[in-house]
A and B are shown apart, each in its own frame.
Chain A
Amino acid sequence: MQTLTDERFLVSPFFVFFLIYSNIIGVGILSFQRDIIKSAGYDAWISVLLSGISIHVLVWMIYRILTIANNDIIYIHQFCFGKWIGGLLNVFIIIYFFVVGLIVFRVYIDVVQAWMFPLMKTWQISVIFLFLLYYIVSSGFRVITGMCFWGTVIPFVFLFPLVFFSLEFAQFNHLLPLFNHSVNEILGSSKKMVFQFLGFETLLMFYPFIKNPEKSKKWAHFGVLFTIFLYLSITIITFVFFNEEHLKHTIWPTLTLLKIAEMPFIERVEYIVVSLLFLVVLPHISQHLWAVCRGLKKLVNIKQRISLFICLFLFFLFSNVLESHKQIERLVDLYSSVGFYFIYLYVPFLFLTINIKQKLTK
């Protein structure tokens, strides 16, 4: 197989695990429990499993698409739909990735403002964030993968054990009675849960940067499995810690969960959590930004550095425009429905199209 990019810029297939993981886990893990209990109540952990399994199917489909095309999604669009429609779809994809990065960026700043520094203005936090993003994204894909690796290992090692402190107050009675909701309700929660798994679509963009891409399939599935495990354990621990009514009144359940951890030399660990979340969110946003810059380069051939500058400036602008919680929520709702249709309708559609196109061109 010929490599479309220079050998020096490729990463080995093992890192797809970290890439997928950091693209899925973002700020959503702090507050997703509230959304999923709206429909299925405390049976929502089943919804987590169901959404996870559907994501596995989608990843498999995406891999089939990419193996046939052996290139990224910009090329696929142009191959399947021709130059003009493909170009239009490419523009949509680039805007989609941009909006995802923007949302994660703004929501994280929101968390910092709510929990740590209430007096800090949005633009102050964004400026330092933007410096870092420029430094990382302009260093190339290998450095972004490195950040994904560290952004997975360090927070997981430090933060995940903290969750187990809350088991001191666990009441497993909350989960009973099991299966008390109808299948419709559980599926409704699954729909909400899928939003948390969104983000792995950047796989469509960074596929050419993987060495031996066939070997990376199993790592991508491991990555999805690991995120399912993480979401499931946090869900179950939240459910045994809070009862349903209490959970409905808590905006950030995971952080409130971590507030109770107490160690001999340190007490309120949620400050560490919010800070280390920065390491989790940073590779997520830089991946998406990188995808936008690369897409723009392949589409209209702008130099990636210039498009990076433009994107960062737009980030700064938009994050200041979205000041209130309500506006952010509206954007998030819009994104979640667009994302849902993107992966559940558009990806299978693309799958069929590329199979047909391939048979036609043979």
Chain B
Amino acid sequence: MSFKQRFFKKKIEKQAIGPQDINHLFTKAKKSSDFGQLSLINKTGHFILSYYNTLIDLEQFQCKVLYVFQEPSFNIGHIKNIEDIRNTIPIEDILITDNIEVIESKFLKGYAILQMKENDYKCALINLANVKVGLREQNNVENEFSVIGPQIGFVENVDINIHLLRQQISTPNLIIQDIHIGSMSHTKVIIAYIEGITNEQHIQTMTQRLQNIDFDVVFDSSQLHQIITDNSLTPFPLLLSTERIDRTVFALISGQVAVFSNGSAYAVTGPSTLLDFFVSPEDYYLPWIIASFFRLIRIFSVLFSVFATSIYIAVLTYHYEMIPRVLLGPLIFSRNNVPFTPLLEVLFLELTIELLREAGARLPTKVGQTLGIVGGIVIGQASVEAALTSNVLLIIVALSALASFTTPIYKMSNTIRFLRFPLIILASIWGGLGIVVGISFLIAHLTRLESLGTPYTVPLYPFRRKDFADGIIRSSYNATSKRPSYLRPRSLWRYHPSDQIKKKNDFDD
């Protein structure tokens, strides 16, 4: 059964068993050594503060709460009932409730429980959560680097992320909705969109899918991505995850919906199309002619990476007539003592490169670099010398491995690396026809894919001529003034392009 079905099915069966009342909660909490209870005795009764001392900010607790109570001018008589606490304690987020579920969830998020008397059901929840400790302070984007342009990205705290977002999108139309997902983690998940631009259908689909999730601990927003995805049987990522602020902002102002999850520095935006994965923010910071050229190079390198090795296998195994006369010598010579068929040669080299890549990702930094370089060069050279592979093939495999990393989004480069293998196997069975069979499968598969309900291959297949201004090439800012129409935004114009004033010289007189 697919990943998605498993999570959606079990919802009905499980019943949450929570504490019946607050004493029950305290009994359970007392078993942990980080649970603290403080009682401030006064004439009329006790003020009992209960908290997890690992979750609260002790400094705030001491300055804002204890100080108030222990100040000599404090008159305990002012507090007749629990609502007066709000006027006493200088903290803005105080909740007065007797709902045990709310009490429990807030308690676990770093709120302190204040009871007027022991065994009181109604209590005040004071927000003393310490959100900064343990989290990364600097927010450089390491994985989506660009030479020009801002280097700041998101961090693992969702409130800081929203702060960063609101700094760029300075309009009250940016609506933030939060829900909590995860039966054990109660992770705060934020859905962000710009009202008046985003189509309500997308918002609804996204919200509904997120609300239907039943999962225990949400580690990262990529997990949410996988659970809510339209089709879980595909290697293609259907929603875009990014660490960069400018990419998320761009997605929002085009009419997409963004999802943030607490504890994850990656924002998930959707609906996305295939060409979105080849767009780099650097394209917008360079002049449009250069940017279009590099975008074309990117697309070409992806195609090369997917097809190069399979074409090599097909031509060498089945279609030797296609080799031009001058290449025949070097190719035959390079394969002279290799005992394997081209298929095995290619698989051997491809697996070696994958091995190097995986190992390089896990080695400690100091050892990793040396081993990577040495491994690559030495293994490559040695295998050619030992006649286990041919040197022509080594170049092709190395180039295609490099070329697969030209996509700005990491998830897509994984897909490309994966796609190579079925094509290699098909090429080794049926030669050129096998490659075309693989292409047909790929095209049929891509055409079937939908991201949040919009087709994945737009603007290529449901051919929309007007959306090509920012597809394969990046046109000048005068031409990209409209939003892409496949997102069906409520308002089409982003800005109004300036009129080009033609400079006149003496020739025009």
The interface of chain A, by Cβ under 8 A from chain B, is 11-12, 14-15, 112, 116-117, 125, 128, 132, 135-136, 139, 142-143, 146-147, 149-150, 264-269, 271-272, 274-276, 278-279, 282
Known: A128-B437, A146-B461, A278-B437. A271 touches B432 (CB 8 A): yes
A132 touches B444 (CB 8 A): yes
B444 touches A139 (CB 8 A): yes
- Cβ-closest chain A residue relative to B324: A267
Knowing that A116-B433, A117-B433, A147-B444 are A-B contacts, what are 8 other residue pairs whose CB atoms are under 8 Å apart, sorted by A's residue number? A112-B433, A117-B318, A264-B324, A265-B327, A267-B322, A271-B321, A271-B432, A282-B440
How far, in whole Å, are A265 and B318 apart by their CA atoms in the complex?
17
- Cβ-closest chain B residue relative to A112: B433
Known: A150-B461, A265-B324. A278 touches B447 (CB 8 A): no
Closest chain A CB from B355 CB (angstroms)? 31
Known: A143-B447, A147-B447, A150-B443. A275 touches B322 (CB 8 A): no
B448 touches A139 (CB 8 A): yes
Contacts of B436 in A (CB 8 A): 275-276, 278-279
- A-B CB proximity, top 5 nearest: A146-B447, A275-B432, A275-B436, A278-B436, A268-B321
Contacts of A112 in B (CB 8 A): 433
Known: A274-B433, A275-B433. A146 touches B457 (CB 8 A): yes
Closest chain A CB from B200 CB (angstroms)? 17
How far, in whole Å, are A276 and B327 apart by their CA atoms in the complex?
24
Contacts of A147 in B (CB 8 A): 440, 443-444, 447
The interface of chain B, by Cβ under 8 A from chain A, is 318-319, 321-325, 327, 430-433, 435-437, 439-441, 443-445, 447-448, 455, 457, 461-463
Closest chain A CB from B160 CB (angstroms)? 40
How far, in whole Å, are A128 and B319 apart by their CA atoms in the complex?
20
- Can you name 10 A-B pairs with beta carbons within 8 Å? A135-B444, A136-B444, A139-B444, A139-B448, A150-B443, A266-B322, A271-B321, A271-B432, A275-B432, A276-B436
Closest chain B CB from A113 CB (angstroms)? 11
B324 touches A279 (CB 8 A): no
Known: A116-B431, A275-B435, A278-B433. A132 touches B322 (CB 8 A): no
A149 touches B321 (CB 8 A): no
How far, in whole Å, are A136 and B436 apart by their CA atoms in the complex?
15
Contacts of B441 in A (CB 8 A): 132, 135
Known: A139-B444, A150-B443, A279-B440. A272 touches B324 (CB 8 A): no
How far, in whole Å, are A274 and B323 apart by their CA atoms in the complex?
17
Contacts of B445 in A (CB 8 A): 135
Known: A135-B444, A146-B443, A279-B440. A14 touches B463 (CB 8 A): yes
How far, in whole Å, are A266 and B315 apart by their CA atoms in the complex?
10
- Cβ-closest chain A residue relative to B465: A14
B444 touches A143 (CB 8 A): yes
Contacts of B463 in A (CB 8 A): 14-15, 149
A272 touches B457 (CB 8 A): no
Closest chain A CB from B313 CB (angstroms)? 14
Closest chain B CB from A121 CB (angstroms)? 13
A271 touches B319 (CB 8 A): yes
How far, in whole Å, are A27 and B439 apart by their CA atoms in the complex?
19
Contacts of B439 in A (CB 8 A): 279
Contacts of B462 in A (CB 8 A): 11-12
How far, in whole Å, are A12 and B464 apart by their CA atoms in the complex?
11
Closest chain A CB from B471 CB (angstroms)? 15
How far, in whole Å, are A271 and B322 apart by their CA atoms in the complex?
8
How far, in whole Å, are A103 and B461 apart by their CA atoms in the complex?
28
A128 touches B322 (CB 8 A): no
How far, in whole Å, are A204 and B283 apart by their CA atoms in the complex?
47
B443 touches A268 (CB 8 A): no
How far, in whole Å, are A276 and B437 apart by their CA atoms in the complex?
9
Contacts of A150 in B (CB 8 A): 443, 447, 461
Closest chain A CB from B486 CB (angstroms)? 12
A266 touches B430 (CB 8 A): no
- Cβ-closest chain A residue relative to B443: A150
Which of B323, B435, B437 is within 8 Å of A267, CB to CB? B323
Contacts of A14 in B (CB 8 A): 463
How far, in whole Å, are A147 and B448 apart by their CA atoms in the complex?
10
Closest chain B CB from A277 CB (angstroms)? 9
- Cβ-closest chain B residue relative to A286: B444
How far, in whole Å, are A159 and B310 apart by their CA atoms in the complex?
20
B324 touches A116 (CB 8 A): no
Closest chain B CB from A87 CB (angstroms)? 33
Known: A272-B432, A275-B432. A132 touches B319 (CB 8 A): no
Which of A128, A149, A272 is within 8 Å of B461, CB to CB? A149
How far, in whole Å, are A278 and B444 apart by their CA atoms in the complex?
13
- Cβ-closest chain A residue relative to B441: A132
How far, in whole Å, are A266 and B312 apart by their CA atoms in the complex?
12
- Cβ-closest chain A residue relative to B320: A268
How far, in whole Å, are A116 and B444 apart by their CA atoms in the complex?
24
Contacts of B448 in A (CB 8 A): 139, 143
Contacts of A267 in B (CB 8 A): 321-325
Closest chain B CB from A340 CB (angstroms)? 31
Contacts of A268 in B (CB 8 A): 319, 321-322
Most-contacted residue by chain B among A14, A135, A143, A276 (CB, 10 A): A143
How far, in whole Å, are A149 and B436 apart by their CA atoms in the complex?
16
How far, in whole Å, are A269 and B433 apart by their CA atoms in the complex?
13
How far, in whole Å, are A202 and B353 apart by their CA atoms in the complex?
49
A128 touches B324 (CB 8 A): no
How far, in whole Å, are A282 and B440 apart by their CA atoms in the complex?
8
Contacts of B455 in A (CB 8 A): 142
Contacts of B327 in A (CB 8 A): 265
